[in-house]
Chain A
């Protein structure tokens, strides 16, 4: 277990470095800079700004300095939100994005596994087909359609939930989390159903039945755990999907999370902000993949070695 973690972390560092450097140089290839506003600045101001932010130095030197500072936890200053450092913006946005993503994955797991379980027990019957159809539709629901649709229905028409901003209490979380969780829960339901259907055909289940165990016990004690292996291997991609979905949801519901900063930063060519968010996202995804592998190992002991 410990060996797996250390090995994964060892490969994570070069991966991260490659992502950071690739994004760094990609950003700098872009025509236009962060100081191209509505009115062009006079050349002297432009040069002074370039110098102040170190943009006049050779690219390699800038990249090297960036990585050096990053290691010390300094993401640099934001070029557009002039009064803030990128670290401050991330510190503001990250908790919101993590809350959204975390709640969404918990909700998706709860709904998805329950629905998949229910469908597998009723395999072939009408309930199974209905649930699976619903799951297929759910996976095809993009957050940028469900988000506004939910906001329109529950926010504007029924007036039950706040349409934008964070506000008091937890009501503001409901619609964003539901919009995020829907497609993921559909995918999880399908995986659970497929996993369980194949596990229930295996010998050890037949043995358990022959021994006269109750169906509930067979299902939860012997069936569910191996059936969840495919779900665990989906958690990595699911996390990546949730992070991208969060970009839309934060834009739609006007939440000051990381995703919104990312889009704003990309549109404004705020190099350090975009780089910082990409780096953070990459690190989060790598971390979550590791976490998913650990769950995987717990569910299927044969995987622990590899």
Chain B
């Protein structure tokens, strides 16, 4: 179990670490140590040293991981809810409604979405809430397609037909029979959505359009590290490596889950 699902345990361990570190470290992520600007790794109480204005790297990494994953999970949940609602409705009603709803999804797929999200960020200010609402609204399309396919397949099954024949209202069938049966697939795609969202959030933050200072995220840390990489390569290597590791682990587990359910 542990060996086979090493990636997900690694991510969970990192999450625990990110949550616990603020209680263990003497420095907070936005606190400046005037005595130790640009301190190298393992100097005094700064395990990974400090950045160009004297903030503890490890504390900032933990804070960045927290924010990045929090945004990712929240946005993935938005995409889950919107995707299931849209896909299940289209698949259940079928016919013209289904066709129209799926046309909209196809149309949205073709949009330069990243740019629309950037526009949203510019228009409504760069609040963290909007970062994940914006991303969540973009990422629901795949979920909607998958759920619709599942619902259409389920609709033909005898137990659903029987429930219908028995006069069970549609809403009850949906809750009691359809949703539990698509939960597995939905979970797999939720898992695959999380790394997608991590990528989008970091991308936005990297460009200065996502999470704003004093809050930090892995994207911001990568940006800071990239700006200062000729002086301290560690500033780029740590958040960059952490980000890639999280993305790889989540993708591997997500793909495994997806293959199991389809």
Contact residues in A for B251 (Cβ distance below 8 Å): 136, 139-140
Known: A148-B240, A247-B207. A140 touches B248 (CB 8 A): yes
Is residue B163 within 8 Å, beta carbon to beta carbon, of the partner chain?
Answer: no
Could you list 18 examples of A-B contacts with CB < 8 Å? A15-B110, A19-B111, A27-B119, A136-B252, A136-B255, A137-B244, A139-B251, A140-B195, A142-B247, A147-B226, A148-B226, A148-B229, A240-B113, A248-B203, A252-B226, A262-B118, A266-B118, A282-B111
With the chains together, A142 CA to B242 CA distance in Å?
12
Known: A140-B248, A266-B119. A240 touches B207 (CB 8 A): no
Contact with A along B94-129 (1 / 0, CB 8 A): 000000000000010111111110111111110000
Q: Which of B's residues lie within 8 Å of A, judged by CB?
A: 107, 109-116, 118-125, 195, 199, 202-203, 206-209, 219, 222-223, 225-226, 229-230, 233, 236-237, 240, 243-244, 247-248, 251-252, 255
Known: A266-B118, A278-B119. A145 touches B248 (CB 8 A): no
For window 275-306 of chain A, which residues contact chain B by CB distance below 8 Å? 277-278, 281-282, 285-286, 289
Q: Tell me how far the C-beta of B243 lies from the nearest C-beta in chain A, rounded to whole angstroms.
A: 6
Q: Tell me how far the C-beta of A255 lies from the nearest C-beta in chain B, rounded to whole angstroms.
A: 15
With the chains together, A33 CA to B118 CA distance in Å?
17
For window 208-241 of chain A, which residues contact chain B by CB distance below 8 Å? 236-237, 240
With the chains together, A167 CA to B250 CA distance in Å?
39
Does A267 contact B208, Cβ atoms closer than 8 Å?
yes
Contact residues in B for A19 (Cβ distance below 8 Å): 111
With the chains together, A22 CA to B202 CA distance in Å?
25
Q: Tell me how far the C-beta of B253 lies from the nearest C-beta in chain A, rounded to whole angstroms.
A: 11
With the chains together, A247 CA to B119 CA distance in Å?
14
Q: Is the interface of A mostly helix, strand, loop or mixed?
A: helix
Contact residues in A for B225 (Cβ distance below 8 Å): 148
Chain A residue nearest to B219 in the complex (CB)? A144
Q: Which 4 A-B pairs have the closest CB atoms?
A: A148-B226, A140-B247, A244-B114, A281-B112
Q: Tell me how far the C-beta of A135 lies from the nearest C-beta in chain B, rounded to whole angstroms.
A: 10
Known: A15-B107, A156-B230. A248 touches B247 (CB 8 A): no
Does B240 contact A145, Cβ atoms closer than 8 Å?
yes
Does B236 contact A148, Cβ atoms closer than 8 Å?
yes
Does B111 contact A285, Cβ atoms closer than 8 Å?
yes
Partner of A152, one of B209, B236, B247: B236
Is residue A189 within 8 Å, beta carbon to beta carbon, of the partner chain?
Answer: no
Chain B residue nearest to A265 in the complex (CB)? B122
Known: A148-B240, A281-B115. A266 touches B230 (CB 8 A): no
The number of chain A residues touching the other chain, given as a range, is: 35 or more
Contact residues in A for B233 (Cβ distance below 8 Å): 152
Known: A15-B110, A142-B247, A289-B110. A149 touches B240 (CB 8 A): yes
With the chains together, A145 CA to B114 CA distance in Å?
18
Q: Tell me how far the C-beta of A178 lies from the nearest C-beta in chain B, rounded to whole angstroms.
A: 16
Known: A156-B229, A240-B113, A269-B122. A144 touches B202 (CB 8 A): yes
Is residue A180 within 8 Å, beta carbon to beta carbon, of the partner chain?
Answer: no
Known: A142-B244, A156-B230, A251-B207. A30 touches B122 (CB 8 A): yes
Contact residues in B for A247 (Cβ distance below 8 Å): 114, 207
Q: Tell me how far the C-beta of A154 lies from the nearest C-beta in chain B, rounded to whole angstroms.
A: 13
Q: Tell me how far the C-beta of B121 lies from the nearest C-beta in chain A, rounded to whole angstroms.
A: 8
For window 3-32 of chain A, which residues contact chain B by CB distance below 8 Å? 15, 19, 22-23, 26-27, 29-31
Does B206 contact A248, Cβ atoms closer than 8 Å?
yes
Is residue A263 within 8 Å, beta carbon to beta carbon, of the partner chain?
Answer: yes
Contact residues in A for B236 (Cβ distance below 8 Å): 148-149, 152
With the chains together, A237 CA to B207 CA distance in Å?
21
With the chains together, A262 CA to B121 CA distance in Å?
13
With the chains together, A262 CA to B239 CA distance in Å?
26
Is residue A115 within 8 Å, beta carbon to beta carbon, of the partner chain?
Answer: no
Known: A144-B222, A285-B110. A136 touches B248 (CB 8 A): yes
With the chains together, A140 CA to B248 CA distance in Å?
6
With the chains together, A147 CA to B223 CA distance in Å?
11
With the chains together, A169 CA to B134 CA distance in Å?
41
With the chains together, A247 CA to B200 CA distance in Å?
13
Q: Tell me how far the C-beta of B44 lies from the nearest C-beta in chain A, rounded to whole angstroms.
A: 27
Does A142 contact B110, Cβ atoms closer than 8 Å?
no
With the chains together, A23 CA to B113 CA distance in Å?
11
